[in-house]
Structure 1
Amino acid sequence: MKKSSKWVGLLLMVSLLLSACGNSGGSSEAGSGGEGEGKKTTLTAWAWNVNVGAMEEAMALYQKQNPNVELKIEDLGRLDVYDKLSTGLAAGGSGLPDFVLVEDDRIQGYLDAFPKGFLNLSEKGFDAKLSEFPEFKRGIVSKDGAAYAFPFDAGPAGVFYRTDLFEQAGVDPASIETWDDYIAAGKKIKEKTGAQLLPIDKFKDDATFRIMLNTLGVYYYDANGNIDLTNPKAVQAMTVQKKLNDEGLIKDVNGWDGTVSATIDGSIASIPFGAWYYGTIIDQAKELEGKWGVFPVPAFEKGGNRAANLGGSSWMINAASDNADEAYKFLEFFSTSVDVQKIAMEKYGLFPSYAPVYKEDLFQKEVPFFSNQKIWKLFADEMEKIPTPYYTKDYAIGLDEAVKAQADVFNGKDPAEALKAAADRLSERTKREVNSY
């Protein structure tokens, strides 16, 4: 019996040693507390700015039902995230976190360059949830019929405007339905107040042009990936840009800082931008509370589409992650939790893509800073009407050439000729076909 007991003891020790070895390494470890605690998992993530705080608060809610999951998220700065992400994907996922925030205009580029780099969410069952997001977001996060990113924030566009300047000029924003109406209003405002109508970084960014393209249902590329800058609708949009410039209604600003400065100092009366600009205005222009409002982006003809998007991001899971299943469960919760999305918007100014949130009382509230207007309802109402922009992997090159075309137009070139030249250069750089009209 003693000999048998020794063997049993030895086997028990070996079993314990093997169990300990099996739980070492990675980001999971055995629970050290009482019975039933199970394995602990630490998820890792990269993001930037306010997205970090929103994610941390989401994890705090998630832990109420999942106490063995923790989050370690690094705020690396937007461009640092992309540099490290590209390097890690090229190395087969080495050194990457479990999941990462990616701006919507970069998703297709990463999926093309690294087709096996990110977890296929459709295979995990996320398609059952996709119908609860607007169509344009579904298109952005999908490739070849499968979803690869969890839709997060969006940038439904509107025209932020100074109510006091509009009143001083006798302009009713409700009377502005088209871009021609907007230009006519701008001329009155400039004459009566001295303020220009809107800011544009003329030679480095084309945000207003992108908003215009999106309302018209076109973009740099079409659904087949062909270059679409010669589309008559693109020419129509650039022609309006020229009219704005010819009338002296554009304030040429230098980058983001120049845009914010113009917003604060009263040198511009309005700015077409994404809903996220709300946070900048209330933070940087506190003394102007009650002197702001929002109206829908102008259409190109009466009754035309006034819905567009500018900006937005989504979360993607590293396919090489050892914690891919746990990351999927958490991000599904994150992207489809009404409570999480309300926190992200109310506390961090991140406009949600998850449609069920729009039924919440928050979207019926008047916003005191914006003249007691229900601005969130205005933005929510346009989400399902936003056409899908086709970014492709060559979005950055398309942006570069579109900005050059815009600069040429502001320097006096005919819009159609400037866009044709840009399309030809873009074709040379990307080897894509140019649509002919």
Structure 2
Amino acid sequence: MFEGVCSMKRKKIGKRICSILLAATMFSSTALLASGCASSDSSSKSAKRTSSAPGKLSGSITVCGWNQAASALKANAKQFMTENPGTTVTVQTVDSDYTKLYSELAANSGVPDVVTIQNRDVKNFVNKYPDAWLDLTDMMKPEESNFSNYVRGLAMVDNKYYAVPWDLGPCALYYRKDIFKEAGVDPSTIKTYDDYIAAGKKIVTKTGGKTKLIGFDYSGSTSTDMPAVFFSQLGGQYYNKNGKVQLNSDAMVKAVDLCKKMINAGVAVNLPNEWNDRISAATNDQIASIPYAVWYAGTLQAISDQKGKWGIMPLPAFTAGGNTQANEGGSALAISSQTKNAELAKAFVKFALMSSEGNKINFETSKLFTSYQKSYKDPEYTATDDYFGISIGSTFAKLSTNIPTVDFGPHFTDVNNALKTGIGNALLKKQDTKAVLKEASDTAQ
């Protein structure tokens, strides 16, 4: 989603926007890709294994994660070590690609004990490196009913759990209450995407074209998040019943054509470097709404002078009365088979992802919305957020009850690369959507 905060080559950003971009790394999408685990900093220096009484945890493990995930893991590690003296949990902050992790896995050396992996890529890693991960079924089976249906299947291969789901990315429509009001748009009247586009036309007219309704990367090269949100909402699947890639499904065609419709209606703006450019556009009142996941709330909160100006409402439906729920992003924790301290690794993962205390830390530190549903009743999830004036946790809990499930398959990285090309051909080059998505499907087979 974002690549290189404050390193935009296409344009220079003022100091104010750059500071927001830096702050936003604390809250960016977990839809970001996981990376190789080269340490840049840690929550604690490494320690040798210590002896202790039977049943008492001891020793050391290394955990890796990216951006806001690493921040939450560090906070969890600090509390975990306080409660378990004699243990050392070192958290590495890593870059947003898989290059080094793939190298470590291929060499069967250097893989951290606990690895953060995007939900959609768990099967990909297990398929490519089937012996690299511990079977965590013993951890998950007693707790699986407490996890969202959406994520359980993503963590399983051949009916075995190889990761513990962390966060969800339930989606909503973030909108500028002040801009909508000035344009005479009542958000309660927006029920469908046709209503949404009509509202966008009013906003564009009222602002003289300064403010568009929405922004995304027309080329698809830096992000496919907007089509992905709409695709998820439609219950789309990347594969047919025979396991063949089907990027030209009705759901994907509708999702991409919705983006094309917004462009043709004059309510969208191109964001060539989508993550950075979206923050810039939001900061400068160039976009009035963002259909995105819960974790983006933290990014908007970094724009401090817009406190109280952003509202949150359900996504519009494709047709009246249709589904308004979708998911974008989310991650899980897997444990390397190379670990020398599986007991400690499992205990830390359980603390961080399956306890009220750990999920409180995750939400307060990084707005990571747990898929562990028992935590939704905790005070942190029901408290009113000062920036938005509502309970973010309660709002998104209601928007995560009927998220359509999706199978990303064992080779989603390759599938998504083909999809990027298809989206760019459809939106930027204005080619026929069905035809270019058919080409993308053929490429990805």
User: Which TM-score band (shorter chain)?
Assistant: 0.7 to 0.9
How much has 1:238 moved relative to structure 2?
A: 2.1
Q: 2:75 corresponds to which residue?
A: 57
Q: CA deviation at 1:37?
A: 10
Name the CA shift for 1:54/1:412 in 2 (closer, same or farther; >3 Å).
closer
Q: Does 1:377 align with 2:394?
A: yes
SS of the equivalent of 1:310 reads coil
Q: Residue 324 of structure 1 is aligned with which of 325, 336, 342?
A: 342
For structure 1, which runs of at least 5 residues remain unmatched after alignment?
A: 1-24, 428-437
Whether the aligned pair in 1 keeps the contact of 2:168 and 2:371 (CA below 8 Å) is: yes
2:186 to 164, 172, 175: 172
Which structure shows the higher helix fraction? 1
Answering whether residue 243 of structure 2 is matched by residue 225 of structure 1, we say yes
Aligned counterpart, 1:274: 293
Q: Which moved more, 1:162-171 or 1:329-338?
A: 329-338
Secondary structure in 1 aligned to 2:199?
A: helix
Equivalent residue, structure 2, for 1:90: 106
**SS of residue in 2 equivalent to 1:131:** helix
2:47 touches 2:60 (CA, 8 Å); kept in 1?
A: no
Contact 1:198–1:250 (Cα < 8 Å) also in 2 = yes
User: Alpha-carbon deviation of 1:70?
Assistant: 1.7
Q: Distance in 1 between matches of 2:145 and 2:92?
A: 31
The more displaced of 396-405 and 378-387 is 396-405
Pick the aligned partner of 1:334 from 352, 357, 361. 352
Give 1:363 deviation, angstroms: 3.0
Once the two structures are superposed, the pairs formed by residues 114-263 of structure 1 within 5 Å of their partners are: 114-122=129-137, 124-193=138-207, 194=209, 195-203=211-219, 204=221, 205-222=223-240, 225-255=243-273, 256-263=275-282
Q: Are the counterparts in 2 of residues 29 and 39 from structure 1 also a CA contact under 8 Å?
A: no
User: What residue number does 2:117 align with?
Assistant: 102
Distance in 2, Cα, partners of 1:360 & 1:39: 27
Q: Partner letter of residue 130 of structure 1?
A: E
Maintained 8 Å contact 2:63/2:91: yes
Distance 1:325 1:166, change over 3 A: same
SS in 2 for 1:29: coil
2:363 and 2:206 map into 1 onto residues whose CA distance is: 37
Q: CA deviation at 1:172?
A: 1.4
TM-score (norm 2): 0.83
Q: Contact conserved, 1:28 with 1:39, CA < 8 A, in 2?
A: no
What is the Cα deviation at residue 329 of structure 1?
Answer: 2.1
* Bigger Cα displacement from structure 2, 197-206 vs 52-61: 52-61
One-letter identity of the residue aligned with 1:139: G
Return the alpha-carbon distance in structure 1 between the equivalents of residues 56 and 373 of structure 2: 35
Whether contact under 8 Å (1:37, 1:68) holds in the other structure is no
- In 2, the alpha carbon distance for the partners of 1:300 and 1:37 equals 55
Aligned to 2:444: 426
Q: Aligned letter for 2:344?
A: E
**Aligned partner of residue 73 in structure 1, secondary structure:** strand
1:106 to partner: Cα distance: 1.9
SS at match of 2:401: helix
**What is the distance in 2 between the residues matched to 1:241 and 1:345?**
31
Does residue 286 of structure 1 match 2:304?
yes
CA distance in 1, matches of 2:374, 2:144: 12
Q: In 1, are the aligned partners of 2:77 and 2:90 still within 8 Å (CA)? A: no
Task: Give the letter for the 1:398 counterpart.
Answer: V
Native 8 Å contact 1:27 1:43 kept in 2: no
Q: Taking every aligned residue pair, what percent have the same amino acid on both sides?
A: 32
Against the structure 1 CA distance between its residues 189 and 53, is the aligned structure 2 distance closer, same or farther, given a 3 Å change threshold? same
Taking the aligned partners of 2:345 and 2:155, their CA distance within structure 1 comes to 17
Paired with 1:390 and 1:207, the residues of 2 have a C-alpha distance of 17
Give 1 or 2 for the bigger CA radius of gyration.
1
Which amino acid is 1:84 matched to? K
Distance 1:362 1:286 in 2: 21
C-alpha distance after superposition, 1:111-132 (max 9, x if no partner): 110111111101x342111211
Distance 1:222 1:45 in 2: 36
2:421 is aligned to: 404
**Deviation, structure 1 residue 67:** 2.1
AA aligned to 2:162 is Y
2: distance between equivalents of 1:338 and 1:224?
Answer: 41
1:30–1:360 CA distance, 2 compared to 1 (3 A):
closer
